[in-house]
Amino acid sequence: MNVGCRSLFVVDAVQGVRLPVWVLYPTRAPEQLEQFGPYPVPVAMNAPLDGGSARLVVISHGHNGSPWTHRETAAHLARAGLVVALLEHLGNSRSDIRWQGTAANLENRPRHVRLTIDALFEDKQIGTSVCPVAVAIIGHSIGAYTALAVAGGRPRAFAHEWPDGQARPISVIQDTRVRALVLLAPASGWFMDAGALADVDIPVLMRTGELDAVTPAFHAELILRGVRHPHRIDHRIIRGAGHFSFQTPFPPAMTNADFPPSQDPAGFDRRAFQQELNNEILTFLRTSLGMAARMP
């Protein structure tokens, strides 16, 4: 199975933006190498989607990042029969950082995901091929915050994130279509209030880095203590991994010491780990979303 790709825009009337979304999906059309900014990806542009009742996965990238930093994970899942939405969180992405560090960004991100799910279910080419009651979210760093908020978490923004300097809760809406979460190096400090994660009651795959200096161990511990049924969380600490080890390796031109996301702790093999991680995510999603293994 090959990887098809379509691009679309999702309108967020509240923020007043058109969010770029790229959708990867299974197809039998031939691939060719396409360039998405600095990232080369083999896909079949605008090819027909192969199959029906596919499960939808939305990937939420990290702080000031790009959805294409998880391109190999997305392609791996698409080849296995899933439809994967790569969403750019305008206001907190590589191309637009105007809302970084604000309560508005914490409100925007979960809404972006819900609007993306809505748009794909309504899409004439994709909507009829996607199962409407089994969605998963993969989130890295603040993308994991986003996933938890969509799945029922009740966050509180810190005082410095509000214009008036007063800490208070963030308004988010739970999306019951979401049935599984994958949390990678999660940032969870906005869920420190008692009961903030009590309504998150779906299967979770969580992977954290032993040497992560950006979101250290207490972030994962907060999630494990906060959800209603911690036994539903498959958590593993990846020995030797850093915060960015969960992203696809960067192209050679971007891999240097001046660009921290391209770097890993000494001795860690990101390329080998990515193969392991992508297989673990696929196995988890097949089980939690009720998928049968796709035959070639």
pLDDT given at position 132? 85
pLDDT given at position 65? 95
pLDDT given at position 136? 98
Straight-line distance from the first to the last Cα atom of the chain, in angstroms, rounded to the nearest whole number: 6
The Cα-based distances of 196 to 149, 161, 169 in angstroms read 9, 18, 10
pLDDT given at position 292? 55
Task: Compute φ and ψ for 6, nearest 5 degrees.
Answer: -130, 150
pTM for the whole thing?
0.96
Residue ranges in the chain whose pLDDT is less than 70: 292-296
Tell me how far apart the alpha carbons of residues 141 and 149 are, in angstroms, rounded to a whole number: 13
CATH 3.40.50.1820 fits 2-288, yes or no: yes
The Cα-based distances of 281 to 141, 202, 230 in angstroms read 16, 15, 18
